[in-house]
Amino acid sequence: MKQMRLRATIGAVLAGNLLACAFVPSAIASSHREAPFITRNPKIDATDFYMFRSYQPGRSDFTTLIANYVPLQDAYGGPNYFMMDPDALYEIHVDNNGDAKEDLTFQFRFKNTNKDTQLTVGGKKVSIPLVINGGPIADTNAAGANVRETFTVTVVRGDRRSGTRAVVANADTGHTAFDKPLDNIGTKSIANYDAYAAKHLYNVTIPGCSAPAKLFVGQRKDPFVVNLGETFDLINIKAPAVEFSANAEKGAKDDLADKNVTTLSMEVPTSCLVSASAGDPVIGGWTTASLRQGRLINPTPKSDADVSKEGGAWVQVSRLGMPLVNEVVIGLKDKDRFNHSKPSADGQFADYVTNPTLPALVEILYGSAGAKAPTNFPRADLVATFLTGIKGVNQPKTVTASEMLRLNTSIAPTAPGAQKRLGVIEGDNAGFPNGRRPGDDVVDVALRVVMGKLCTINIGCAPADAPAGALRFTDGAFLDETMINASFPYLKSPIPGSPQK
């Protein structure tokens, strides 16, 4: 009976494929170590995914894709710092015909080369213990770098395993291997990190695309902002009448203020991402990471190159599209299952969206202050926003119920200085959930939508269904576009590991 009511409310477009991911806004932290298995593999843990029309002046014909990995990086985390996993496959997927299957995939593979820097000590050559740096570093593949980290990018059209493949090349040199900058160790090792990182921003040729794209892979300041500790302590913030008021949207602790992250970012001609045959400007996107199915650990390795042997088929172990889904929407027993799944199979998570738990928790904690949970079941407002796209904003012509970011590329980007941090619910249709910009405060948007903000404007429900729909829910950790750079790759330079100047 519950599923029949669900179909009746959502319509034939869902065909019973509801999932917890429709309830995306139910958490206050993006994907920072959200599932049991991924906590053992932080190098392949996706933290955030962004997809938006580029708003850098003169670049509005491009769409920026940003996939961040390796959460909670302490800037001083030496001597290894945060190289990517050379035994992993990192991917950014684009669906451009609404069938919840990838039509375009960018695959990233990494390689670490130990240069084995040695010093002569007492007449003997001895390898230095520092993993990354053996001296000052200013250039790509500098002599002072003890490890060289490079990567390649392959574009796959069609199914990511069986589609046609081509290699992305440096538009200036023709090379297909790119250097990744070292992490921001400190100013004694890297005197001018901004200038050093800029040498790793590449113009690239993507086969099948009409114009050069831009590519940057490297460490950045984590752009996500969240009052993390107090949120997970049973939402240990003040009641809505006080803490959630308009005057309280700033000032709370941002627990990621001192954290870095590793970004895989591309600025791609929008014409290369949309499908001419589908005739639809709406695209969907998500990022994944995969490991080989088998691993043999060498009990007597002779070097860092033979510690283990990886083999077998690729197995997807990390997935992220919309922010916040796996962290607190998917039940604990299904978190790893979600990370292994594809958008086209999202119907298996239907029960989580039909009876979302976060609004009920908020009501339990703050109901006496007026924070009453919405009463419309199933939550058609959340389905429209996060599962199918909002009609007239970012709903594709063909709709397959599935969790991913959806971007209407026909909506012009909002210029710097005019962006609204709450995106669509604040009248800025170029922002979240129409794609996602780094300056969109998805935490505050999430809290308000899950408590019924869309009901107040008759999207999927009526005002009477959401007693608290007009409250300005917030975690108090403020984010807007002024905290982000206004040009590619948009994210701020990483925090240095050493405070010494």
Check residues 391 and 346 and name the one with the higher pLDDT.
391
Residue 331 confidence class, pLDDT cut points 50, 70, 90 = low
Q: List the single range of 9-23, 235-249, 310-324 with lowest mean pLDDT.
A: 9-23
Whose CA is closest to 431, among 453, 443, 446, 413?
413
Bond into 36 cis (ω within 30): no
pLDDT at 488: 98
Residue 11 confidence class, pLDDT cut points 50, 70, 90 = very low
In this predicted model, what pLDDT tens digit does every residue of 84-98 receive, in sequence order?
999 999 999 999 999
Residue 8 confidence class, pLDDT cut points 50, 70, 90 = very low
Q: List the single range of 8-17, 40-49, 167-176, 258-267 with lowest mean pLDDT.
A: 8-17
Element (H, E) at 365: helix 358-366
Read off the tokens for 69.
């990995």
Question: For all residues of the chain together, what is the average pLDDT?
Answer: 87
pLDDT at 27: 36
Reading phi first (left if > 0) and then psi (alpha if -120 to 50, else beta), residue 63 is in beta
Rounded Cα–Cα distance for residues 333 and 363 (Å)? 25
pLDDT at 252: 80
pLDDT at 3: 39
Using the predicted structure, report yes or no on whether residue 427 has a pLDDT greater than 90: yes
Cα Rg of the chain, angstroms: 23
Rounded Cα–Cα distance for residues 401 and 384 (Å)? 10
Q: Report phi then psi at 112, rounded to 5.
A: -110, 125
pLDDT at 239: 61
Residue 326 confidence class, pLDDT cut points 50, 70, 90 = low
46 neighbors 261 (Cβ within 8 angstroms) = no
Helix%, strand%, coil% for the chain, nearest 5: 20, 25, 50
Strand partners for 92: 106, 287
Rounded Cα–Cα distance for residues 216 and 212 (Å)? 14
pLDDT at 346: 79
In this predicted model, what pLDDT tens digit does every residue of 340-357 receive, in sequence order?
889 898 778 767 666 777
pLDDT at 133: 78
Residue 157 confidence class, pLDDT cut points 50, 70, 90 = very high
| Percentage of the chain exceeding pLDDT 90 | 59
Rounded Cα–Cα distance for residues 81 and 146 (Å)? 13
Rounded Cα–Cα distance for residues 223 and 263 (Å)? 10
Check residues 78 and 420 and name the one with the higher pLDDT.
420
Q: Mean pLDDT highest for which of 267-271, 318-322, 330-334?
A: 267-271
Q: What is the DSSP letter of 9?
A: H
| Residue 300, C-beta contacts closer than 8 angstroms, at least 6 positions apart | none
- Mean pLDDT, rounded, for 110-136: 88
Rounded Cα–Cα distance for residues 30 and 49 (Å)? 9
- Mean pLDDT, rounded, for 160-179: 96
Could you give the 3-state DSSP secondary structure of residue 482? Answer: helix
Measured N-to-C along each axis, helices 442-450 and 358-366 cross at an angle, to the nearest 10 degrees, of 80
In this predicted model, what pLDDT tens digit does every residue of 430-472 receive, in sequence order?
999 999 999 999 988 988 988 999 999 998 899 999 999 999 8
In this predicted model, what pLDDT tens digit does every residue of 184-238 receive, in sequence order?
999 999 999 999 999 999 999 999 998 999 999 999 999 999 887 777 777 776 6
Rounded Cα–Cα distance for residues 319 and 328 (Å)? 15
